[in-house]
């Protein structure tokens, strides 16, 4: 049993204590209107700092003191009319100042130079037409070549066959096949192909790799290559899986969308930090 004596302990407790201002506010909120008037009068008699403020003017007095909406509209209209007149004078002075040289040949040449200086992204079809213009062709051959270029999409693939174009145009199919072979020799390598397999083969022929493993894999095992069945390809070709892997890595460096080199660059718009208008 603990001995009797004096002990010192420390406790932590949280209590709500109302400040005098809060107590007075609660008292005022609970006081009826008649008693509140008496309370206010009593406080003013005991506290010389308090003073009685005059009542605010009524709605009628405020409406008489403030200008009417019609007067405000009239003032704003006069300001706008004045600004419009000043702007017309400014434009007239600018026109009279530059009117003498506006239609001069020097000013026209300067404007044309500025327009010609604007960079324009060349499309794949425009580039192919430019390469076509460097070849000497007959009327039928040129028409066939232009029809082929018109059926090439932005990725560089041909979306129509020589048979279909010959049927729609009346030009012999042989002419389309001859012009297609010409266009497939254009830049970029692989353009004018009808599918991915032909696109890759054109690029490999351009690199003189007709006897390579890559050419044979694309030519004979394209489906297995797409599914990455390297052991199956190695078994059918009689080579090791490592050699198939090396050939697949080289094929992966070819361009599956040759026309994308002419894809439009993204527009980078510049937002001004400050705009000044007159």
pLDDT at 88 over 90: no
Whether residues 188 and 211 fall in one domain: no
CA pair distance 113, 75, nearest whole angstrom: 48
Answer whether residue 201 is part of any domain: yes
| Average pLDDT of span 96-105 | 56
Answer whether residue 62 is part of any domain: no
pLDDT at 39 over 90: no
Answer whether residue 36 is part of any domain: no
Range of the domain at 240: 195-256
Whether residues 187 and 130 fall in one domain: yes
> Sorting pLDDT into bands at 50, 70 and 90, what band is 179?
very high
Give the model's pLDDT for residue 113.
72
**Phi-psi map region of 208: left, alpha, beta (phi>0 left; psi -120 to 50 alpha):** left
Q: Shortest CA distance to 216 belongs to which of 189, 231, 236? A: 236
- The answer to whether the peptide bond before residue 143 is cis (omega within 30 degrees of 0) is no
Whether residues 127 and 188 fall in one domain: yes
In this structure, of 3-7, 26-30, 246-250, the range with the lowest mean pLDDT score is 3-7
**Which residue is associated with the tokens 């500025």?**
114
Q: Which of 36-40, 105-109, 167-171 has the highest mean pLDDT?
A: 167-171
Answer whether residue 159 is part of any domain: yes
**Tens of pLDDT along 126-175?**
999 999 999 999 999 999 999 999 999 999 999 999 999 999 999 999 99
Whether residues 200 and 240 fall in one domain: yes
Whether residues 126 and 169 fall in one domain: yes
The domain spanning residue 142 has which CATH number? Answer: 1.10.10
Whether residues 187 and 211 fall in one domain: no
In this structure, of 25-39, 100-114, 134-148, 185-199, the range with the lowest mean pLDDT score is 100-114
pLDDT at 278 over 60: yes
Give the model's pLDDT for residue 107.
73
Whether residues 189 and 205 fall in one domain: no
CA pair distance 137, 125, nearest whole angstrom: 18
Instruction: Say if residues 233 and 248 touch (Cβ distance below 8 Å).
Output: no
> Sorting pLDDT into bands at 50, 70 and 90, what band is 122?
confident
Whether residues 127 and 183 fall in one domain: yes
pLDDT averaged over every residue in the chain: 81
Give the model's pLDDT for residue 161.
93
* pLDDT greater at residue 7 or residue 155: 155
- Residue 158: beta bridge partners? 152
Whether residues 185 and 207 fall in one domain: no
pLDDT at 27 over 80: no
Final residue belonging to a domain, choices 175, 194, 213: 194
Answer whether residue 227 is part of any domain: yes
Answer whether residue 247 is part of any domain: yes
Whether residues 201 and 147 fall in one domain: no
Q: Which residues of 85-120 are buried (b: 16+ CB within 10 A; e: fewer)?
A: eeeeeeeeeeeeeeeeeeeeeeeeeeeeeeeeeeee
Whether residues 133 and 174 fall in one domain: yes
* pLDDT greater at residue 160 or residue 78: 160
**Tens of pLDDT along 212-266?**
999 999 999 999 999 999 999 999 999 999 999 999 999 999 999 999 988 765 5
3-class SS letters over the chain = CCCCCCCCCCCCCCCCCCCHHHHHHHHHHHCCHHHHHHHHHHHHHHCCCCCCCCCCCCHHHHHHHCCCHHHHHHHHHHHHHHHHHHHHHHHHHHHHHHHHHHCCHHHHHHHHHHHHCCCCCCCHHHHHHHHHCCCCCCHHHHHHHHHHHHCECCCCEECCCHHHHHHHHCCCHHHHHHHHHHHCCCCCCCCCECCHHHHHHHHHHHCCCCCCHHHHHHHHCHHHHHCCCHHHHHHHHCCCHHHHHHHHHHHHCCCCCHHHHHCCCCCCCCCCCCCCCC
Give the model's pLDDT for residue 240.
96
pLDDT at 40 over 80: no
Residues contacting 128, CB < 8 A, separation 6+:
149, 152, 183, 186, 191
**Phi-psi map region of 5: left, alpha, beta (phi>0 left; psi -120 to 50 alpha):** left
Answer whether residue 91 is part of any domain: no
**Structural domains of the chain, count:** 2
Global pTM reads 0.55
Answer whether residue 164 is part of any domain: yes
């Amino acid at each position: 049993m603990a001995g009797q004596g004096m002990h010192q302990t420390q406790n932590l407790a949280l209590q709500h204590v109302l400040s005098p201002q809060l107590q007075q506010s609660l008292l005022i909120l609970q006081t009826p209107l008649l008693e509140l008037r008496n309370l206010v009068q009593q406080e003013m008699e005991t506290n010389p700092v308090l003073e009685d403020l005059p009542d605010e003017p009524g709605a009628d007095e405020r409406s008489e003191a403030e200008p009417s909406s019609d007067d405000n509209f009239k003032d704003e209209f006069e300001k706008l009319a004045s600004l419009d007149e000043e702007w017309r004078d400014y434009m007239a002075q600018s026109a009279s100042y530059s009117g003498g040289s506006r239609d001069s040949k020097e000013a026209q040449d300067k404007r044309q130079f500025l327009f010609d200086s604007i960079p324009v992204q060349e499309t794949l079809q425009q580039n192919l037409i430019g390469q076509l213009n460097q070849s000497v062709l007959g009327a039928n051959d040129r028409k066939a070549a232009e029809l082929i270029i018109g059926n090439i999409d932005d990725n560089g693939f041909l979306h129509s066959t020589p048979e279909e174009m010959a049927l729609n145009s009346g030009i012999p199919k042989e002419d389309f096949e001859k012009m297609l072979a010409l266009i497939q020799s254009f830049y970029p390598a692989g353009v004018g192909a009808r599918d991915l397999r032909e696109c890759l083969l054109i690029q490999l022929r351009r690199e003189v790799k007709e006897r390579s493993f890559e050419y044979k894999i694309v030519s004979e095992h394209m489906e297995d290559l797409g599914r990455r069945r390297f052991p199956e390809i190695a078994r059918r070709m009689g080579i090791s899986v490592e050699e198939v892997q090396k050939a697949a890595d080289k094929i992966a460096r070819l361009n599956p969308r040759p026309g994308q080199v002419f894809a439009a660059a993204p527009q980078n718009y510049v937002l001004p930090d400050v705009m000044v208008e007159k």
